[in-house]
Structure 1
Amino acid sequence: MPPLSSGLLGALDPTSDRAVFRQIADQLREAIDTGRFAEGDKLPSETELVGHYGASRMTVRSAISILQGEGLVVAEHGKGVFVRPRPPVRRLASDRFARRHREQGKAAFTAEAEAAGSRPEVDGLVVREEKPSPDIATRLGGVRKVLTRRRRYLLDGRPVEFAISYLPLDLARNTPIAEPNPGPGGIYARLEELGHRLDHFDEEIRARMPTPDEAKTLRLAAGVPVIHLIRTAYDTEGRPVEVCDTLMASDAYVLAYQLPAT
């Protein structure tokens, strides 16, 4: 890391009504955002920051705490504070469920990972029959029993997504969909083989803070929100054939959409 005198960080503004620890956090954040501190870089030590800004150690710690709360940095005991890696995955909504991927034997997550040059993995898979919640039952047209598929997705060993698929039991029972590995192209390929040619998907997306269990499952740093996406798949007859409830680490994804202007 270059010395602070090299211009990595500026000086405090004594005329500002903004608290000193917030000014320090602002400067560190800007240095991270502009790449002066790259992913994985170690930030200046507390001693260096105290010397550079002429601030107290507690003030510097308060500034670092802000960045930790925003999910920008992580502290490693005995080593220092480091800029968190934030590998983006570009999800193309108009492409990720394209039939050509299924015809090539690729599920959506596999196609996304390959496009990003990453290694996909799935773990924690649980497949079982259950009674759906009122919301899921309504989305699936009032079904009373569903087959659920719970799984966690990883890219290059890092958890980025946790998803639960709900399928009407009369469609999925005693089919490859009920197997741990449904086969090439995933469950959408199997649905189409069963005569439910997919027509369109509806998605609802919102951002929120994770619960403690969700943060643990996705190994999220403090301050990192999740993207909560609920997708409903419809066949050409207009029947909802799957609801997928997905949590995504917000720092791992860019949601990109093409929207027609007419």
Structure 2
Amino acid sequence: MSTTKTSATGRSGRPGRPPGGVSKADQLAATLREQILSGQLSPAALLPSERQMIEHYGVSRITVRAAIAALRAEGLVQTIPGKGAFVRRPSDRPLHTHQRTITVDDDGNFTDNETGNGEFREAEPPSTYHRNADATLALAIGVPEHTPLFGSDRLLENAAGTRIFVQTYVPFSTALEIPALEENPFVSAGQVYKAACDAGLSPDFSDYITARNPTPDDARTLRIPDGIPMLVTRRLATHNGRPLIMQETHRSAENTQLHYQPGQ
């Protein structure tokens, strides 16, 4: 199991984006992506150096690095310190890249870029319920066993047919402490984060990643082929070590990578 700290990223963190437009980094990434996918830049080819791209495309070093980071996140290139960025072979490229970044706009609205960026849609109506935490769930959230929770289950699917199953748990104590959740605790994780901030709390985020064999129900629901493990990511938001909300996501691990931006 691996653990990573995830921090919220402000909208101003992306370089060179004019209001309502496409950033220079996105434009450069699109140019390089086309060269890679067309074969103009062949597998194992070394991309032009930062200095060469700065001079050829008339962009800044920050823009070049942002474009390379985007291609690396898509699995198209691999960077080797001191040598540069190399084109990855098609067989080495993941088919699915899931963004695990949280962004915050100027109004304090949080967006989970994995489930809140518009790529995934509801595959079936979500379900909401109350439950008490059993020993396993209590340990995962960090609450005493039998703690009452608000829960919701969502099955999401994108245009490519990739499915993810998202479970969200909010302790009753969180809903009682945050006025905006008293009437309706069954809101998105991003809305919980914003409500917590509006109530004077400061969420900290931790992600826990595991792989396990899917149950028959998991394999059928998520369309996981035989012999392929299931990837489980669990994001826990806390305030001063006290859990506010936990969101757990299940997906097929086949040709899949997770993209984080730690430290931003």
Whether contact under 8 Å (1:177, 1:190) holds in the other structure is: no
Task: Name 2:114's counterpart in structure 1.
Answer: 109
| Matching residue's letter, 2:258 | L
Letter of the 1:175 partner, please give it: E
Counterpart AA for 2:144: G
**C-alpha displacement at 1:259, in angstroms?**
5.5
Match of 2:212 among 194, 208, 213: 208
Report the equivalent of 1:253.
256
Q: Tell me how far 1:103 sits from its aligned partner.
A: 3.6
- For the pair shown, the structure with the greater C-alpha radius of gyration is 1
C-alpha distance after superposition, 1:144-186 (max 9, x if no partner) = 201111111211162421121111112236636534xx37944
TM-score, scaled relative to structure 1: 0.52
**Residue correspondences, number:** 166
Match of 1:55 in 2: none
Amino acid at match of 2:196: L
Structure 1 position 205, deviation (Å): 1.1
For residue 213 of structure 1, report the CA deviation from its aligned partner. Answer: 0.3
CA distance in 2: counterparts of 1:224 and 1:101, whole angstroms? 41
Distance (whole Å) between structure 2 residues aligned to residue 150 and residue 244 of structure 1: 10
Whether contact under 8 Å (1:101, 1:185) holds in the other structure is no
Q: Which amino acid aligns with 1:203?
A: D
- Secondary structure of the 2:153 match is strand
Shift of 1:229: 1.7
Q: Structure 2: which amino acid aligns with 1:120? A: F
* CA distance, structure 2, for counterparts of residue 258 and residue 215 of structure 1: 29
Corresponding residue number in structure 2 for 1:154? 157
Match of residue 197, structure 2, among 188, 192, 196: 192
Instruction: Give the match's secondary structure for 1:163.
Output: strand
> How much has 1:87 moved relative to structure 2?
3.8
- Provide the C-alpha distance between the structure 1 equivalents of 2:212 and 2:184, rounded to a whole number of angstroms: 31
- Cα deviation for residue 214 of structure 1 reads 0.2
Match of residue 231, structure 2, among 205, 210, 227: 227
Q: Aligned partners of 1:109, 1:160: CA distance in 2, in Å?
A: 12
Distance in 2 separating the partners of 1:140 and 1:160: 28
Aligned mates of 1:206, 1:197 — CA distance in 2:
27
Structure 1: which amino acid aligns with 2:220?
K
Map residues 53-202 of structure 1 onto 2, 5 A cutoff: 87-91=95-99, 93=100, 96-100=101-105, 103-104=108-109, 106-111=111-116, 113=117, 119-122=119-122, 123-138=124-139, 139-142=141-144, 144-156=147-159, 158-172=161-175, 175=182, 177-179=184-186, 182=187, 185-198=190-203, 200-202=204-206
**Aligned-residue identity in percent:** 20
- Long gaps (5+) in structure 1: 1-34, 36-85
Aligned mates of 2:108, 2:189 — CA distance in 1: 8
Asked whether the equivalents of residues 191 and 197 of structure 1 are also in contact (C-alpha less than 8 Å), the reply is yes
Larger RCO: 1 or 2 (CA < 8 Å, sep 6+)? 2
d(CA) in 2 for partners of 1:102 and 1:248? 32
C-alpha separation in 2, matches of 1:233 and 1:183:
13
User: SS of the counterpart of 1:251?
Assistant: coil
RMSD (CA atoms): 3.4
Q: For each residue in 1:220-257, what CA deviation from the matched residue of structure 2 results, as whole angstroms up to 9, or x when unmatched?
A: 2223221112221112x332111222212213631134
